[in-house]
Structure 1
Amino acid sequence: MLSFLRRREEARNEFPSGPFRFVALDVETANHDRASICQIGIACVRPDNSIETWTTYVDPCTSTWAFTGLHGISQSTVSGAPRFADALSMLETPLGGITIYQHSGFDRSAFRAACALLSRDEPLWIWQNSVTVARRAWPELKGNGGHGLASLKTHLRLSFDHHDAGEDARAAAEVVLHAEKTKGLAICFHDT
């Protein structure tokens, strides 16, 4: 019943309107096929550094669910959710021209794989990596827990539920904001 209520809540959840300094994006997949996106989360960082999170389930149209134990998403969870093509059509324009942070290369590769399945190019978005930012900000973590979200959660005292796309997107945005504030890093939002 809870997943049904959450699905209905997400279905009513309009994508926030900008302006945004940047966004962070995270996906969860149903299985080892990167195109099997079953949840998309986006953390929108406003000019005052407040964060508004948008999340949707996605029906990956698969019967193979290898990661339900990790993220709790199953076929019944995504029943009635938009397919990837519909979710992409909601996001393509609002995310154009805005820097999008992912925490590793996985999220962009999942979008690329899902777009390939639709026989289309991935959107021409400006992608950056919050892992790269974390490595610059906290080099002492190399070999000492690393720069993954689980390690940064402890190191930065972040509070989030790992393996929920909205929560992980918010955490990636917070990593970038922490690097700016505590380390004085000038984060370049439009380099490659």
Structure 2
Amino acid sequence: MTPAEKLLFVDLETTGANAANDRITEIGIVTVDPDGRIDRWSSFVNPGMRIPPFIQQLTGIDDAMVEYAPSFSSLADELSMRLSGGLFIAHNARFDYGFLHHAFARAGHLLTSEALCTVKLSRKLYPEEKKHNLDILIARHALIPSARHRALADADLLWQLWCRLHAVLPVEQIASAIHALRHVPKIEPVTPPIAPDGKSAIH
């Protein structure tokens, strides 16, 4: 299946659930270009804080694994380029988008991509089903996880889901649902960093 636009399947691992106070520990992106080319990219991120034991147990990512990883600010320019010009797709997209929005703002960047939430997409396409978490969708659509709660593995599951949906449902039905759901998320403003000249450093 060749998409009509660049698709960006994104997943993050973080130190917690609060985008303002917690930090990103891992980023995974599966990029699918309109010509069908697929690029998989991931990186650990040094969060600058301890990873709580519960999160370490959930993700398998501990403090030692991120100790020498790049900071988000050092990855921001590359990430901004990777996320430009494509549809941002994530499971519970507001979570991932919100974390990236805050992280980019702290690094002096803006995130303005259109986003699509695969939870909402699944609900719209399968309204008779009550549950749409990723583990349920893995079982429902016979997806093949290489791991769980790891950024690139979970991003790849979303690409698998995308392909599976297009294999079993009319393309017009999927396109209509995507059109209805895609939007630029409204995230609470972040206080921008101030440059030495006293002006906002966001660009």
Q: Which amino acid aligns with 1:163?
A: H
> How many residues in Structure 1 have an aligned counterpart in Structure 2?
170
- Evaluate the alpha carbon distance shift between residue 189 and residue 137 of structure 1 in structure 2; reply closer, same or farther with a 3 A threshold: closer
Unaligned runs of 5+ in 1: 1-18
Match of 1:178 in 2: 164
Q: Which residue of 1 aligns with 2:141?
A: 156
Distance 2:51 2:138 in 1: 30
Alignment RMSD (CA, Å): 2.4
Q: Deviations over 1:127-163 (max 9, x none)?
A: 1111122112222321xxx111110000001111210
Q: Given the alignment of the two structures, is residue 139 of structure 1 paired with residue 124 of structure 2, yes or no?
A: no
CA spacing shift, 1:38–1:79, aligned 2, 3 Å: same
Q: Kindly state the Cα deviation for residue 49 of structure 1 after the two structures are TM-superposed.
A: 5.0
The alpha-carbon distance between structure 1 residues 169 and 58, as it changes in their structure 2 partners (threshold 3 A), is: same
Query: How far apart, in 2, do the equivalents of 1:190 and 1:169 lie?
Result: 19
Identity, % of aligned positions: 26
Output the amino acid matched with 1:60. P
Q: Any conservation in 2 of the 1:59–1:79 contact (CA below 8 Å)?
A: yes
Structure 2 residue runs of 5 or longer lacking an equivalent are 184-203
Instruction: Report the alpha carbon displacement of residue 20 of structure 1 after superposing the two structures with TM.
Output: 6.2
Q: What is the CA-CA distance between 1:59 and the residue it aligns to?
A: 0.3
> Which amino acid counterpart does residue 29 of structure 1 have in structure 2?
T
Q: Which amino acid aligns with 1:111?
A: L
Point out the structure with max Rg over C-alpha: 2
Contact 1:133 1:179 in 2 (8 A): no
**Matched position secondary structure for 1:97:** coil
Which residue identity lines up with residue 30 of structure 1 in the other structure?
T
Q: Within 2, Cα distance between the matches of 1:70 and 1:168?
A: 13
